[in-house]
Chain A
């Protein structure tokens, strides 16, 4: 069955960067786009960006443009999300979520368990 397993919780100082991984299994990794979505405490889900695993093409929310980088390692069926210049408002649970197809219009059908990133001095 489809599984997305994310890396563990992180605690970072303001100004630092964090890199979260998402290892996929149970399907052909390159056939489905991957989204990254975050959820700050008490806030709605917030879309950050997505990657096409087959060619590495990415698209980001304007809100995170310049601070977020999404990459993938096809040999390891793993997607990564790196967020830089962290501030306290970036404290959130970060999820990877598989698209229902090769592009993002199809919605998402499977989610990783989430990675809590805490930004505090």
Chain B
């Protein structure tokens, strides 16, 4: 199975400052169709996960443009350009390129 490793596991950030989360895959996430099915999810306290980014860099409907995704192959990054209070939560990368689908271990974003 593909293993997704996120760093850091915890990210204390000052309001208005940027945050960056890395997700590294044990194997390439490029599908045979040429696309890369790497998503980013946000889970606020007490809520279910919410889709932020799909296929590396596509923002889902309603997601603020301060969230952006990048990367290729095995290395991916989620960036928050200016952290707001509502961004507190745990962020997960998820791969669906290969069976079985899997998740990173999560990165907790909190305000300093």
Contact = CB atoms under 8 A, between A and B. Distances in A.
B60 A109 contact: yes
Name, among A45, A111, A112, the residue most crowded by chain B CB atoms within 10 Å (CB to CB).
A45
Contacts of B100: 47, 61-62
Given A62-B100, A106-B37, A45 B49 contact: yes
B105 interface: yes
Interface string B8-52: 000000000000000000000001000001010100000011110
A105 B97 contact: yes
A111 B50 contact: yes
Interface of B: 31, 37, 39, 41, 48-51, 54-55, 60, 92, 94, 96-97, 99-106
B56 to A, nearest CB: 11
A24 to B, nearest CB: 14
A105 B31 CA distance: 9
A35 B100 CA distance: 11
A47 B100 CA distance: 8
* List of 3 A-B pairs having minimum Cβ-Cβ separation, nearest first: A111-B48, A45-B103, A107-B39
B54 A109 contact: yes
A7 to B, nearest CB: 14
Interface in A25-53: 35, 44-47, 50
Contacts of A71: none
A108 B51 contact: yes
Interface in A106-120: 106-114
